[in-house]
Structure 1
Amino acid sequence: MTSILRRLRRRFGDEPEAGDIPPGASPPVTPAEDAPPPVPCHPPGSVPPSVAAPLDRGGEPREDVIERLRRRIASLDRRWKDGPPSPGAAAAAERRRAALEILPGRLVETPRGRVRVIAETVARHAGHGRFPIGAFSERPERLAALGVLYRLRRTPDPERLVFLDTETTGLAGGAGTIPFLVGLAWLDGGDLRVEQLFLDHPRDEPALVHRLAERLATFDHAVTYNGRAFDVPLLQNRFVLHRTPFPPLETSLDLLPGARRLHRRHLDDRSLSSIERHVLGFHRHDDVPGAEIPGIYHEFLFTGRTSRMAGVIRHNRWDVVALAALLGLQARLAETSAAEQGLDATVDLALGELHYQAGDLERARSHLERAAARAEPGGAPWTDAWTWLARLHRRCGRPEESAACWRRILERLPDHGPAHLGLAKYHEHRTRDLDLAERHALAAAARGAEDGGAAA
C-alpha cells in the first residue's frame, strides 16, 4: 500500500523530496517483508489516515488541496478531449457521419430536437400476399364484427386507426430499453400512409417522443401485434421519462390474441412473420430476424456500419403493413368464412366456437358445418366440429339432431367417450331406452368420459 501511495504522489507531484519532512515528523518506516499487515484503528465511518494523508501537505488547508486536485483533473480531461483521436476512433466517427447521409428519410425539426422521418404512401389496393392492405376500410361496419375476437369498448373507425410497431434496443423492457425505430401507418386519402421515426442517436429520443405524441393524438385506436404487453407499455414508460403525456389510445385491437384464437390448431408458430407466410401468403425475402435487431443497431451506433440497418427499416415497414392486411382479413372472417378466404378448415372451426360462446348460434352452426365438411373424417378437427354441433343442437332444443351428430362420430371413432355419454343422456331422457342408455353410459365410463353438464 505504501508503494502504491508513493507512486500516486509522484504521479501528481506530491512525493516529498529528501529533507522535506516537516519538523517533528518521523521518517517513513518501511515494514519488514514478513511483518503482519497493520490493523486499522480508525473508528467506523471516519476517513482512514491512509486516505487523508495525501491531503495533508504540512499544514496546507484541505480546501486548497482539493481545489488543486480538481484543476489537475480538469487539465487531464482537456488533454484527453483535445488530443488527437486514435485511428480506429477517427475511422468510426467518419463512418457514422457518412452513415447519416446514406440513411433514408429526412431530418425533421421539433421543439425538442431533430428526428429522422422515413415516409411513403402505399396504395390501398396493393396486396400484402393474397390480401389487399386497405380491406379493413372497405366496409367500416365490418370492424364492429371484430367483437367476436376482441373486447371492443367502442366500434373502431377506419379513419381513426393507427397501426403501430416498434424496434428496440432489447426485449427486457425497463428504463434501459429504447425504441429506436417506431413504425406508424394510417389511412390518408384512402391510401395507407407509412411513417417511420428513427433515432440517429439515443440523445435524439426527446424529438422522437414529441413527434410520436403529435401523431398519436389524432387517433382513437392503436392496432398492434403483442402491443398491449410490449410496445404500448414501453412507449408509455418513455413518455413518462420525457415528461410527455401519452395519448388516450384504445389498445384492444392487439391482433396476436385474435391470431391465436383463429390459428391455434394448425399453426404452432403464431408470430407475425409466421402468420404472414401461412395465412396472408406473404414471404419475406432477406428479412432480418427480430432477435438480431438490437445488436444491429448497437453496431450502427459504435461503428457507423449501415449494411444491415436498411434491412431493419424494411422489417419494420413490413410489420406495420402486415397489420393492416391482417386486420382486414380478420374483419372479413368475422362476417364470411374461412372457406371463402381460402384458409384452413380449422379456422372455420375456431369461428364456430367463438360465435357459439358469443351466443350467435346460427352463425356458429354455419361455420361448424363448413368445418365438418372440409376436415378430414376421423381427425381431431372433424371430431371437434361434430362435437360442437351436437352441443349446439342440444342447446337449441333439437335432441334428435344432437344424437345424430354423436352417432356420426361413433361411426368413425367407436371409442369416443363424450359421444357415448351424449347418447346415454339422449336415450335416458328422450327415448326412455334405459338398456341402451346403460350400455352407452358404461362405454363412456370405461373411456374416462365425465359429465360436464354440456356434453349432450
Structure 2
Amino acid sequence: MSLAQKLKLYRKQLHEQNRGAQESSLNRQQQDQMLNDERQNQAIRRAATALAADLRTFEDQYVLVHSERLPLATRIGPYALGDLWQTVASWQAFDAAHPLSAKGLHAEDLLFFDTETTGLGSGSGQMIFLIGLARMTDHFLELKQYFLPGPGHEAAFYDSFLKDCTSLKHLVTFNGKAFDWPRVKTRHQFVRDQVPKLPAFGHFDLLHASRRLWKNRLESVRLQSIESKLLSMNRENDVPGKLAPFLYFQFLKHPEPGLVKGIIEHNREDVLTLVSLYIHLSNKILGKAAADPEENYEIARWFEQIGDHAHAQTIWKTLIQKDSAFQIPAKARLAACLKRKGDYRQSLKLFESVIAAGEDEGGLISIEAAKLLEHRFHDYSRAIQYTKSAMIQIGHQQNDEKLYQYKKAACLKRLNRLNLKRAKKFS
C-alpha cells in the first residue's frame, strides 16, 4: 500500500471516529434533555396533586386548574354570595344609566377576574402566571384558578382559560382596565396562532368606583384596605401580592408547591372580595344600603358627571336637610342644578345661603349669585354687592398671580357693566 493510500485510509478512519463521537455527544444531550423534561413533568404532576388542581394538557404543554364550588350562603365580609342575585335584580329596576349598572345582564353574566404577574411593568417580558375567576350559577359560585407551571406552557395556559370563557359578557375587576386585561392582551399576542381569540366584553372596574367614594377617607385605595376598613374583612396569614413574583421565580427554580400555595390563596381571596365589593358599591349607589354623607355626596357628584342631574338633585336635596360637613357643599351643587333647570329663585336662595354660611372660598358662589341677580332679576345693586364680595374673596387667594389678575379683571369688567346698567335703570 502506497503512502498516499495509507494517508487516505487514516483520514477516513479519523472522520468516522469524530462523527461517532459527535453522535454520541448528541445522543447524551438528547438523553439529558429528555431526562430533564421528565423531571420537570413529574414536578408539575406533583404540584398539581399538592395544590388539588386538575392537570390539563395542550400539545406538549401543561396548565394547572384548581376548581371550587362555593354555596350561595357563603359569606364574604358583610354579604352572602347569593346576595349578588338581588343586587343585579335591583339594577334592572333602576331607571338610570350608570357605569356600574348591570341592567340587561344576569348575575351569571358577570365574571369576577384577577391575575398575578411576574412584575408590575407593562413590557412584553412580564408574564401572567395565575388567573383567578368566579362566576355565578343557580346553586353555587364557581371559582377557577389557572396556574402557569413554567414559561414554556403559555399556550396551554391561555387555551384553557379562553375555552372556559367563551360566553364572557362582562368582567368585574379591580384596576383591570389599566393593569390585568392589557397584560392578558400582550401575552396573548405570543400564542394567538395556537389559542382562541380574546372575547369582546363589558367591564366594571371597581377601583375607579372605590376611588370616587373613598379616596378622601382611605390612605390607600387598595383592595386589602377596602376589605379591612369598609367590609370588616381580615385575612389571616396572607401572602402580600408584592412577594408573588419572587415566590413564583423560586418555584421555577425549585418546583415545591408550598412556594406558591399562599399566592394561590391570596388570588382566591381577591376574586371573592370582588363579589362582595360589587354588591357593596351597587347597594350604596342604588340606595339599598346606608351611605354616610360623604358617600352620598360623591355618588351625587358621579351622577352629575354622567349627566344624570335628576338623581344627583335627589341626593343633594337629602344632604341639605342633614347637619354634616357636606350640607353646604351640597347646597352649592343643588343651586347649580336648579340654575340649569331654570329654577332661578330657588337657586339664588341656596347660593345666598352658602354665602351667609361663610363658605364662599374664592368668591365663586358670589359670582354665581351676581350673575342671577344681573341677568334674571335685574337687581343690579345686589349684584354689585356680591361682585365686590367676590373681589374680596379673590384677594385672599393670590398664590397664582396670573389667575388672580384674570379673576380681578373679570370682576372689574362686571362691576363697570353693572354700574352702567344701574345708572341707566334709575336715570
TM bucket normalised to smaller: 0.7 to 0.9
In the TM superposition, 1:282-293 aligns within 5 A as 282-293=233-244
After superposition, what is the alpha-carbon deviation per residue over 1:144-167, rounded to whole angstroms, capped at 9, x for unaligned? 658423599x84332222111111
Of 123, 128, 153, the residue aligned with 2:76 is 128
Q: CA RMSD in A?
A: 3.7
Rg larger for:
1
1:187 is the counterpart of 2:136: yes
What is the deviation of 1:415?
A: 4.7
Partner of residue 388, structure 2: 442
In the TM superposition, 1:206-285 aligns within 5 A as 206-242=155-191, 243=193, 244-285=195-236
Aligned positions, number: 377
Give the direction of change, closer, same or farther, for the CA distance of 1:77–1:327 in structure 2 (3 Å limit): same
After superposition, what is the alpha-carbon deviation per residue over 1:276-323, rounded to whole angstroms, capped at 9, x for unaligned? 233333222322222111111111221334445222111111111112
After superposition, what is the alpha-carbon deviation per residue over 1:250-291, rounded to whole angstroms, capped at 9, x for unaligned? 143222222223333333422222222333332223222221
User: 1-side partners of 2:120 and 2:157: how far apart?
Assistant: 20
1:419 is the counterpart of 2:365: yes
Partner of residue 122, structure 2: 173
Confirm or deny: 8 A CA contact 1:239 1:245 kept in the other structure: no
* Structure 1 residue matching 2:125: 3-state secondary structure: coil
Partner of residue 408, structure 1: 353
Equivalent residue letter for 2:365 = A
User: 2-side partners of 1:92 and 1:178: how far apart?
Assistant: 19
Equivalent residue letter for 2:226 = I
Confirm or deny: 8 A CA contact 2:62 2:149 kept in the other structure: no
In the TM superposition, 1:145-156 aligns within 5 A as 147-149=97-99, 155-156=104-105
Confirm or deny: 8 A CA contact 2:374 2:383 kept in the other structure: yes
**Structure with greater helix share of residues:** 2
Give the direction of change, closer, same or farther, for the CA distance of 1:221–1:200 in structure 2 (3 Å limit): same
User: 2-side partners of 1:329 and 1:247: how far apart?
Assistant: 29
* Structure 1 residue matching 2:276: 3-state secondary structure: helix
Equivalent residue letter for 2:275 = A
Equivalent residue letter for 2:25 = S
Partner of residue 284, structure 2: 333
What is the deviation of 1:139?
A: 5.2
Partner of residue 294, structure 1: 245
* Structure 2 residue matching 1:315: 3-state secondary structure: helix
User: 2-side partners of 1:116 and 1:412: how far apart?
Assistant: 63
Confirm or deny: 8 A CA contact 1:149 1:354 kept in the other structure: no
Give the direction of change, closer, same or farther, for the CA distance of 1:376–1:172 in structure 2 (3 Å limit): same
With structure 1 as the length reference, what TM-score do the two structures score? 0.71
User: 1-side partners of 2:368 and 2:253: how far apart?
Assistant: 67
Of 283, 292, 301, the residue aligned with 1:353 is 301
User: 2-side partners of 1:118 and 1:97: how far apart?
Assistant: 13
Confirm or deny: 8 A CA contact 2:51 2:66 kept in the other structure: no
Confirm or deny: 8 A CA contact 2:285 2:299 kept in the other structure: yes
* Structure 2 residue matching 1:162: 3-state secondary structure: strand
After superposing on structure 2, the runs of 4+ consecutive aligned residues of structure 1 that deviate more than 6 Å are 91-97
Give the direction of change, closer, same or farther, for the CA distance of 1:248–1:414 in structure 2 (3 Å limit): closer
Confirm or deny: 8 A CA contact 1:169 1:178 kept in the other structure: yes
Partner of residue 62, structure 2: 114
User: 1-side partners of 2:320 and 2:383: how far apart?
Assistant: 26
What is the deviation of 1:402?
A: 1.6
Of 315, 318, 332, the residue aligned with 1:370 is 318
Confirm or deny: 8 A CA contact 1:279 1:343 kept in the other structure: no
Of 304, 317, 332, the residue aligned with 1:387 is 332
User: 1-side partners of 2:389 and 2:100: how far apart?
Assistant: 40
User: 1-side partners of 2:228 and 2:386: how far apart?
Assistant: 45
Confirm or deny: 8 A CA contact 1:115 1:198 kept in the other structure: yes
What is the deviation of 1:193?
A: 0.7
Give the direction of change, closer, same or farther, for the CA distance of 1:446–1:255 in structure 2 (3 Å limit): same
Partner of residue 4, structure 2: none
Larger displacement relative to structure 2 (71-80 or 240-249): 71-80
What is the deviation of 1:103?
A: 2.3
Confirm or deny: 8 A CA contact 1:120 1:194 kept in the other structure: yes
Give the direction of change, closer, same or farther, for the CA distance of 1:343–1:296 in structure 2 (3 Å limit): farther
Give the direction of change, closer, same or farther, for the CA distance of 1:374–1:157 in structure 2 (3 Å limit): same
* Structure 2 residue matching 1:413: 3-state secondary structure: coil
Give the direction of change, closer, same or farther, for the CA distance of 1:79–1:266 in structure 2 (3 Å limit): closer
Partner of residue 107, structure 2: 158
User: 2-side partners of 1:259 and 1:77: how far apart?
Assistant: 60
Confirm or deny: 8 A CA contact 1:107 1:116 kept in the other structure: yes
Equivalent residue letter for 2:112 = F
